[in-house]
Amino acid sequence: MTDPDTPAVVRNPWRRLRQYTDARIGLGRAGVSLPTSELLDFQLAHARARDSVHSPLDVPALTQALANTPKAAALGPPLCLHSQAPDRKAYLQRPDWGRQLSEQSVAELGNLRKTLSKPPHLAIVIADGLSSRAVQQNATGFLEIFLNDLGAQAQTPYLTPPLLVEQGRVAIGDPIGQLLGACQVIVLIGERPGLSSPDSLGIYLTHAPEPGLPDSRRNCLSNIRPAGLSFGLASQRLLYLIREAERLKTSGVALKDRSNEVELDESDQNRNFLVQGKRQ
Amino acid sequence: MAGGYRYQMGSQTWRFRNLAGLMAKATPPRSGDRLAGVMAESAEERVVAQMCLAELPLRTFLSEALVPYEDDEITRLILDSHDANAFQAVGHLTVGDFRNWLLSDLATPEAIEQLRPGLTPEMVAGVSKLMRNQDLILVAQKCRITTAFRNTIGLKGRLSTRLQPNHPTDDKAGIAASILDGLLYGNGDAVIGINPATDSVAQTRELLTMVDSVIQHYGIPTQSCVLTHVTNTIEAIEQGAPVDLVFQSIGGTEATNRGFGFDLSTLREAQDAALSLKRGTVGQNVMYFETGQGSALSANAHQGLDQQTCEARAYAVARHFSPLLVNTVVGFIGPEYLYDGKEIIRAGLEDHFCGKLLGVPMGCDICYTNHAEADQNDMDNLLTLLGVAGCTFIMGIPGSDDIMLNYQTTSFHDALYARRALNLKPAPEFESWLESMQIFQNTERVALNPDVPAAFRHSLTGPDGGNPDD
């Protein structure tokens, strides 16, 4: 199976099986090593993932994007907050710092609370997490659809303006929610980037947030991005979780997301083609 | 010495709060120990701690438990199973002298084997803290640990691979495609082991049945495993699933393992259940364990120990159950525990050395996440170093990219690189199979067949049929 144009490279005809998986199968080989094109493809994917982790959140651009979308703009101007992690290096080594607000941010939330007419039902937090790219590319688009779906409900909950957090971890929503007296908090956050998914947004819902809650008290939606879980489906699932958390007065493991249950597919017995071989 | 340890240097006296504190401060730097607040506060304090540790009699570890005997079943396991006769060969030595002994020609492979029941994980962790990377490699090379199920793992000059065909939705066609890729690149003699996306007994049975049918159909001298919780595997065995190996992630304190949802009695029950199936053909090592520095701290169960000492204690758990395979998942846990390539490489070599010295068939998931300061070059370095050290097995996945767990580990190609560069062969039974199936043209030169072997040509169309010559 050597290629007449590049005889040093042996190609793998089973590469066509990539229609069944995103795994990097059938890469071919130069000797026993990766062909140059495959080596560089991998390097590009890794570079994008690394840049997602290390590029700072462009707060002015995100603020502008929120101002340009009607539903998000109606929430009022975003409040910009910061965790106790001063920079990315500290953030990566000290997850505990990323879960706590800077002193200045605590003061600013105190000021915000004074302007609210009552404690909010839902605090909306947007944090860079481990992928600023995910937030930059997906947070505004998701939020617009979600706010639209939320507004179509019988009772529209009282919401906070978007609360943008730099160097934030998921649990940063706990002190924010508590300081505002919010019933619930959602944290839109950049997930740890995979090689083929540098732009995955995660959303975590916590009912009755306060510092020190275990992760088992949160519900999570993952892999929200154009090539993953769509904004529309994510919005519907989040609305379901918010309603259920309100009904149960808690969130986390006690709240099973039955909208997301995977049924075992008994019909796919034949898909192990290594044994069946031919079409059944 | 309950009052702590002191070390006099010139007019300055350095103090260490207790043995656990001394061990922690003597540990080469890593972010997890900083996070736990147990790391040396200066480079000088670290070396002074190493000097103090070097003068400590080895037998101290028998009288001073790092985690109290009353509180921790792993401490009880370590001390109750200690063999005082075996220990006599080094019982008069300090930790520093023990390093010299291990590197000396007195420490033959046979002498190390005889000594093993007399060693505790704390002794082994302690001496590793005084060793350079080359020491860790040289001593590990002398350790021979051979295990067997359907093939023989760990022979000299051999390097095995776990074929890891993970898929984000456990799609069988996707898993089959990755298994095919791996087999045709000569991988999979340690185990064909899937991390399931859906972690349930029903899914475990489905996947076990699938891989078992592949192993039987092609007569592959290897074993399967679905890496689910030990209690799921016990249930799958009760339901009649074809279980070769029982998997569990383990840690070095009782509290860590309780956090993982099991204790030593659970592992015993699982081992007995797997043994009762009598599915091994050349041996009966039925357990597969994964470990990794930082797991105890992340479970908030490190008991004031440094993460490397905790990790070594996990190997005492492992060796009690005669596993076929144990591997540290060294770079998976993230930069808050091992920050960069340098820390990951050091930890990988430490874990391999400690496991081997304690008698565990130690492999390594040579890996990193995208938020760690590491890249493929760091993994090449660690792979080469571990290959030289005689590492038992590594992972093999398509193109280094695990699309389910979202991290990077060694690829099928990487294993072939190590075979060629270091003249390492797969398990002998598997090597014969690769030749008979015409997957390898020449195993001596690590030369693959440029054409698709006949037995696999029908698979090129996948589950949906079509013309393979498209």
CA distance B111 to chain A (A): 39
Inter-chain CB proximity B406 and A195 less than 8 Å:
yes
Inter-chain CB proximity A14 and B452 less than 8 Å:
yes
Q: Which of B373, B377, B363, B298 is nearest to B330 (CA)?
A: B363
Condensed to tens digits (0 to 9), the pLDDT of residues A156-175 reads 889 999 999 999 999 999 99
Report residue B75 as tokens: 């401490």
Torsion, Cα of B292, B293, B298, B304 (10° steps): 140
Alpha-carbon distance B23 to B49, whole Å?
A: 8
Contact B347, B129 (CB under 8 A): no
Q: Pairing between strand B401-402 and B407-408? A: antiparallel
pLDDT at res. A196: 84
Which among B161, B172, B204, B457 is the top mutation candidate for probing chain A, defined by the most A β-carbons within 10 Å of its own β-carbon? B172
Alpha-carbon distance B55 to B95, whole Å?
A: 6
Inter-chain CB proximity B370 and A92 less than 8 Å:
no
Q: Out of A1, A32, A46, name the one closest to residue B446 (CB).
A: A32
Q: B-chain residues within 8 Å CB-CB of A53?
A: 370-371
- How big is chain B by its Cα radius of gyration, in Å? 22
Inter-chain CB proximity A32 and B406 less than 8 Å:
no
CA distance B94 to chain A (A): 35
Cβ under 8 Å to A: B residues 384-443: 397-401, 403, 406-408, 411, 413, 416-417, 419-420
Q: Out of A27, A32, A45, name the one closest to residue B417 (CB).
A: A32
CA distance B278 to chain A (A): 24
pLDDT at res. A256: 73
Average pLDDT on A242-259 reads: 86
Inter-chain CB proximity B35 and A49 less than 8 Å:
no
pLDDT at res. B470: 45
Q: Which of B40, B7, B6 is nearest to B26 (CA)?
A: B40
Amino acid (1-letter code) at residue B454: A
ipTM: 0.95
Inter-chain CB proximity A53 and B371 less than 8 Å:
yes
Banded pLDDT at A21 (limits 50, 70, 90): very high
Q: Pairing between strand A122-127 and A184-190? A: parallel
Give the start-end residues of each E strand in B337-414.
362-365, 393-396, 401-402, 407-408
CA distance B46 to chain A (A): 20
Inter-chain CB proximity A278 and B169 less than 8 Å:
no
Which residues are registered as beta bridge partners of B395? Answer: B162
Report residue B98 as tokens: 């023990």
Alpha-carbon distance B17 to B337, whole Å?
A: 23
Model-level pTM?
Answer: 0.93
Contact A217, A206 (CB under 8 A): yes
Average pLDDT on A38-52 reads: 96
Which among A12, A15, A17 is the top mutation candidate for probing chain B, defined by the most B β-carbons within 10 Å of its own β-carbon? A17
Q: A-chain residues within 8 Å CB-CB of B206?
A: 264
Q: Which residue has the tokens 């760990």?
A: B154
**B436 Cβ neighbours under 8 A, 6+ residues apart:** none
Q: Out of B217, B370, B446, name the one closest to residue A50 (CB).
A: B370
Torsion, Cα of A4, A7, A13, A14 (10° steps): -160
Q: Which of A7, A10, A12 is nearest to A24 (CA)?
A: A12
Q: A-chain residues within 8 Å CB-CB of B398?
A: 23-25, 27
CA distance A27 to chain B (A): 7
Distances B302 to B20, B253, B310, B337, B462 between C-alpha atoms, Å: 11, 7, 7, 13, 48
Judged by a CB distance cut-off of 8 A, whether residue B108 touches chain A is no
What fold is seen in the domain A58-269? Rossmann fold (3.40.50)
Q: A-chain residues within 8 Å CB-CB of B177?
A: 14, 17-18, 20-21, 23, 25
N-to-C CA span, chain B: 76
User: 3-state class of A101 per DSSP?
Assistant: strand
| pLDDT for A278 beyond 90 | no
Q: A-chain residues within 8 Å CB-CB of B446?
A: 32
| pLDDT for A262 beyond 80 | no
Which among B403, B413, B422, B444 is the top mutation candidate for probing chain A, defined by the most A β-carbons within 10 Å of its own β-carbon? B413
Distances A240 to A177, A258, B122, B191 between C-alpha atoms, Å: 20, 9, 51, 41
Q: Pairing between strand B407-408 and A218-224? A: unpaired
User: 3-state class of A29 per DSSP?
Assistant: strand
Cβ under 8 Å to A: B residues 297-336: 335-336
Tell whether the torsion through CA atoms of B167, B173, B175 and B177 is positive or negative: negative
Plot region of B282 (φ>0 → left; ψ -120 to 50 → alpha; else → beta) = alpha
| pLDDT for A54 beyond 80 | yes
Alpha-carbon distance B328 to B338, whole Å?
A: 13
pLDDT at res. B461: 86
Cβ under 8 Å to A: B residues 332-371: 335-336, 339, 369-371
Chain B residue with minimum CA distance to A2: B450
Average pLDDT on A29-52 reads: 96
Banded pLDDT at A279 (limits 50, 70, 90): very low
Inter-chain CB proximity B401 and A264 less than 8 Å:
no
CA distance B1 to chain A (A): 34
Angle at A66 between CA A60 and CA A71, to 5 degrees: 165
> How confident is chain B (470 residues) per 10-residue block, as mean pLDDT?
82 96 98 97 98 98 97 98 98 98 98 98 98 98 98 98 95 96 98 91 95 98 97 96 98 95 97 98 98 93 96 98 98 96 98 98 98 98 98 98 95 98 98 97 92 94 67
| pLDDT for A6 beyond 70 | no
